Amino acid sequence: MKLKVKSHSPQPRLSLHAHYRGQPLHLAHWRKLAKAALAPCLAQLKFPEAPLATLEEIEISLISDPAIADVHAQFLDDPTPTDVITFHHGEILISLDTAARQAQEHSHPYEREVALYLIHGLLHLAGWNDIDPEERRQMHQHQNRILDNLWSE
Every domain of the chain and the residues it spans: 13-152
Q: Is 95 helix (H, G, I), strand (E, B) or coil?
A: strand
What mean pLDDT is predicted for residues 82-89? 97
Listed in sequence order, the DSSP H helices in 43-128 are 51-54, 65-76, 96-106, 110-125
- % of the chain at pLDDT higher than 90: 82
Q: Write out the binding residues for Zn(2+).
A: 120, 124, 130
Mind listing the pLDDT tens digit for each residue in 106-138?
A: 999 999 999 999 999 999 999 999 999 999 999
CATH T-level topology, domain 13-152: Collagenase (Catalytic Domain) (3.40.390)
**Beta strands 84-87 and 13-18, pairing class:** unpaired
Q: Write out the binding residues.
A: 120, 124, 130
Let me know if 152 is exposed, middle or buried by CB neighbors in 10 A (0-12, 13-18, 19+).
exposed
Q: Is 17 helix (H, G, I), strand (E, B) or coil?
A: strand
